[in-house]
């Protein structure tokens, strides 16, 4: 029988009836051997083995299995399916003899239902049926429910109104451009505000300028110092020997006859107009040029006809006074415009007003030009110092926090500051003034502390404890849910505490 071919099919841990039947369908032998994987729990039901056995018969073969000892071996033997310990033993055995001789006879004893009932329903211990014991357990259950209700059913809302008071403080403030930040000593930065203004002003001039009007004219007499003829071209210059010299020019061409001592009178006119050309007799005695070696000259009569006229002209004093007056007018205008350039609540320092920068300065007419009036156009930047409201408030907070009453905290956005004196700036550039600061503060309330004070207490007692332990403006308001519950919750998270004015 060892020569009979056997189809050995090794099963996988995930196989089921359908997949095993598919594997069996490929068998071409009369014996089909299914090898179960170790410790596998597949195909252990009687129905599974019966279906596989019928499928093997339908294929014209016989089914056998290789499996370890256990419940499945008994099930297979009850169905007449040969069971082996290994595939090698199965291939050597005669399956027909095993399926006929080793088939066990199933004898199932009749079930004793009373015994099974007794096994399932064990008799209770006698003490469990005692009335007192049952009442005790019932009471414990009710108590547990009450405890749960006590813990989670009630809820409470507590509203606390903290006590408030007004905190006031007088502060000595000082501001300087050299200070970078606010500090507790009272110092704060002095900030700059700017504006640019352009204005013109015209004033009459106070000076008079003497202007040459007409040149002086007269006659000079040339005397020949040689024996030859001497020609005098028009424009020959004769002058005085004073310093500076007064110069005249001949107006015609002339010739002095030959011979020493010969003379010739020639008309002259002052080169520069003005009364300075009017000269007495014998003052024009010098000749410029080469003719001075051959001729001598003098004026036998006075030189007259030179005249002057006067014209109004600006002086240095006029320019200085005009500039000072215009700068003063611009600064006066800045006194009005600069305070408007800072923010609301900022503190303006009026005695720090000054000219920051002269952008342009134009006079008309120009210096040394005549004119009855003098005009000046100034475009300048004026500046002043101020303290910002933010810096003043920061200084006030620092000072007031240092003197805050114990157990109190400031109410948000409740700070007000008011200047109680006029800012004055000293020679060192430091501006000092007084500030009156005021704010509302209220008692600092801790909701957790309040919760710990009132846990599990009656509303009346809780209210008294809160009033005695905390600084309150009015009696606390306690609301219970449900309203008929006599105590506040024991667990903290069932109590809601709100603080506010």
Which tens digit of pLDDT belongs to each residue from 161-198?
A: 999 999 999 999 999 999 999 998 999 999 999 999 99
Determine the Cα–Cα distance for residues 57 and 60; give it in Å rounded to an integer: 5
**Going by CATH, does the domain composed of 212-308 fall within 2.40.30?**
yes
Determine the Cα–Cα distance for residues 396 and 388; give it in Å rounded to an integer: 12
Q: What is the largest CA-CA distance in the chain?
A: 197
Alpha-helix runs per DSSP H in 342-458: 389-402, 447-454
* pLDDT score, position 302: 97
Beginning with the edge strand found earlier in the chain, give each strand of the sheet holding 155-160 in spatial order: 477-481, 155-160, 495-499
CATH topology agreement for domains 6-101 and 212-308:
no
Give the residue among 247, 329, 259 at the shortest CA–CA distance from 283.
247
pLDDT one digit per residue (tens) for the chain, 501 residues: 445 788 899 998 888 889 888 888 888 888 999 898 887 778 888 888 888 899 899 888 899 999 876 778 888 888 889 999 888 888 888 887 776 434 444 444 555 666 666 555 555 666 666 778 778 878 888 888 877 766 677 899 999 999 999 999 999 999 999 999 999 899 999 999 999 999 999 999 999 999 999 999 999 999 999 999 999 999 999 999 999 999 999 999 999 999 999 999 999 999 999 999 999 999 999 999 999 999 999 999 999 999 999 999 999 999 999 999 999 999 999 999 999 999 999 999 999 999 989 999 999 999 888 899 999 999 999 999 999 999 999 999 999 999 999 989 998 878 999 998 999 999 999 999 999 999 999 999 999 999 999 998 999 999 999 999 999 999 999 999 888 888 888 888 889 999 876
Domain parsing of the chain, residue ranges: 6-101, 212-308
* pLDDT score, position 143: 84
Vertex 184: Cα angle to 182 and 189 (nearest 5): 20
Helix axes 17-25, 46-58, angle to 10 degrees: 20
Residues paired with 373 in a beta bridge? 204
* pLDDT score, position 128: 66
Which tens digit of pLDDT belongs to each residue from 300-328?
A: 999 999 999 999 999 999 999 999 999 99
Domain 6-101 falls in which CATH fold?
A: Transcription Regulator spoIIAA (3.30.750)
Q: Looking at the whole model, is its pTM more than 0.85?
A: no
231, 407 Cβ separation under 8 angstroms: no
321, 373 Cβ separation under 8 angstroms: no
- Give 127's contacts (C-beta < 8 A, 6+ positions apart): 133
Give the residue among 46, 86, 47, 42 at the shortest CA–CA distance from 64.
86
Determine the Cα–Cα distance for residues 430 and 18; give it in Å rounded to an integer: 103
288, 239 Cβ separation under 8 angstroms: yes
84, 66 Cβ separation under 8 angstroms: yes
Quick check: helix, strand or coil at residue 242? coil
């Amino acid at each position: 029988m060892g020569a009979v071919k056997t189809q050995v099919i090794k099963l996988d841990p995930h196989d089921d009836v359908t997949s095993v039947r598919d594997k069996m369908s490929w068998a071409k032998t009369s014996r089909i051997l299914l090898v179960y994987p170790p410790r596998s729990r597949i195909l252990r039901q009687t129905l599974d083995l019966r279906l596989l056995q019928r499928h093997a018969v339908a294929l014209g073969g016989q089914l056998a299995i290789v499996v370890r000892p256990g419940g499945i071996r008994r099930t297979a033997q009850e169905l007449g399916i040969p069971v082996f310990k290994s595939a090698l033993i199965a291939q050597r055995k005669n399956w027909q003899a095993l399926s006929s001789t080793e088939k066990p006879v199933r004898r199932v004893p009749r079930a004793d239902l009373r015994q099974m009932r007794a096994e399932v329903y064990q008799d209770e211990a006698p003490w469990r049926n005692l009335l007192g014991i049952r009442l005790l357990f019932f009471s414990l259950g009710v108590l547990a429910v009450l405890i749960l209700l006590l813990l989670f059913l009630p809820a409470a809302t507590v509203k606390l109104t903290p006590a408030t008071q007004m905190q006031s403080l007088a502060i000595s403030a000082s501001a300087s451009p050299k200070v970078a930040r606010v500090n507790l000593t009272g110092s704060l930065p002095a900030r700059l505000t700017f504006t640019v203004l352009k204005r013109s002003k015209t004033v009459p001039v106070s000076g008079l300028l003497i202007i040459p009007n007409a040149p002086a004219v007269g006659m000079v007499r040339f005397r020949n110092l040689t024996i030859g003829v001497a020609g005098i071209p028009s424009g020959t210059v004769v002058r005085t020997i004073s310093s500076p010299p007064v110069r005249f020019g001949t107006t015609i061409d002339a010739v002095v006859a030959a011979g020493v001592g010969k003379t010739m009178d020639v008309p002259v006119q002052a080169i520069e107009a003005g009364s300075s050309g009017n000269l007495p007799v014998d003052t024009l005695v010098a000749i410029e040029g080469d003719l001075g070696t051959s001729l001598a000259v003098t004026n036998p009569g006075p030189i007259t006809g030179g005249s002057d006229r006067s014209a109004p002209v600006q002086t240095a004093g006029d320019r200085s006074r005009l500039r000072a007056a215009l700068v003063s007018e611009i600064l006066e205008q800045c006194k009005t415009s600069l305070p408007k350039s800072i923010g609301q609540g900022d503190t303006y320092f009026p005695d720090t007003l000054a000219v920051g920068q002269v952008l342009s300065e134009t006079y008309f007419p120009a210096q040394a030009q005549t004119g009855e009036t003098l005009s000046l156009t100034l475009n300048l930047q004026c500046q002043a110092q101020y303290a910002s409201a933010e810096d003043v408030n920061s200084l006030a907070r620092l000072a007031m926090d240092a003197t805050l009453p114990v157990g109190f905290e400031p109410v948000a956005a409740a700070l007000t500051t008011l200047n109680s004196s006029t800012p004055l700036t000293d020679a060192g550039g430091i501006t000092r003034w007084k500030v009156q600061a005021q704010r509302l503060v209220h008692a600092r309330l801790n909701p957790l502390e309040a919760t710990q004070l009132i846990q599990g207490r009656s509303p009346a007692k809780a209210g008294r404890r809160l009033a005695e332990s905390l600084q309150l403006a009015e009696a606390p308001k306690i609301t219970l849910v449900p309203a008929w519950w006599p105590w506040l919750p024991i667990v903290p998270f069932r109590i809601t505490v709100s603080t506010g004015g």
